[in-house]
Amino acid sequence: MFKKLFGKEEKVDKEVLVSPMTGEVVDVTEVPDPTFSEKMMGDGIAFKPSDGAVVSPVAGEVVNLFPTKHAIGIKSKAGVEYLIHIGLDTVMLDGEGFTAHVSQGDKVEVGDPLVTFDLDFVSQKAKTITPLVITSDVGSIEKNINKTVVKGETEILTVHL
């Protein structure tokens, strides 16, 4: 209300993301798929998950939930779009082993459950390494990688707008 009244808009110059998964975080260049490792969809990081829970790394809106539940697009409150692609070759599972806890259009806060998946099942049928890429143009990013992370807690990216 004060923004409208006094014309003051809060200018956000960066946004910090927390890990959407528990496990190990690595640079996106380590993903064994050139679409991600060569940053064709954008720069980012990837996770080697130790469990099958994916939570929102940022507050925003679910702008895309693939019918196979293996990929989720989130647009943050700052307007940055992120893609979480759970595993590689997981689209071929046609949703088997995945449970979505959100729908397209849902508002999410940091740590809200997005998708759970059967880690053992998926690891037998596909690769579980999970890229998180920034699909919007941003100024720069700082990565907090090569460490063990906890979903909803460990800061993993600072995105400068």
Q: How many whole angstroms separate alpha carbon 98 and alpha carbon 106?
A: 18
Long-range contacts at 99-103 (CB < 8 A, ≥ 24 apart): 99/69, 100/65, 100/69, 102/62, 102/65, 102/72, 103/62, 103/65
Known active-site residue 160: no
Q: Give, as one character, the DSSP assignment of residue 49.
A: E
Residues in the chain: 161
Question: Which residues form the catalytic set?
Answer: 85
